[in-house]
Amino acid sequence: MEVQPSNSTMIVQEPPTENNYKTWRVHLKRYLSTEGLWGVVLGEVPPGPGSSGEWTRKNDAVLRAIQISCGKEAFRAIDTTSSAKDSWRY
């Protein structure tokens, strides 16, 4: 059995494709949920007075997770998006 190198930035095993998109989505959603970030994707953690710094941090964390998990092709489509919710919907 071949041992694969560990990649600390890897959240899912491989970028989404037509064949594995549903599985990819489940894994990424579970990751975001365990990190307490799924609410950002749902829009449940809106920016507001006194919370904008925290919301920005969480939004950026979700964007980073999506960007490092989505593959090069999808990344090009969302690389200028500043909203985690919009990136997830893509």
Question: Is 49 in contact with 43 (CB distance < 8 Å)?
Answer: no
Listed by start position, the domains of the chain span 51-90
**Which alpha helices (DSSP H) does 1-82 contain, by range?**
21-34, 38-42, 52-69, 72-78
At 13, is the pLDDT very low, low, confident or very high (cuts 50, 70, 90)? confident
pLDDT mean over 57-70 = 92
Question: What's the pLDDT band for 4 if we cut at 50, 70, 90?
Answer: very low
Report, as an integer, the average pLDDT of 49-75: 87
Q: What is the pTM of this model?
A: 0.77
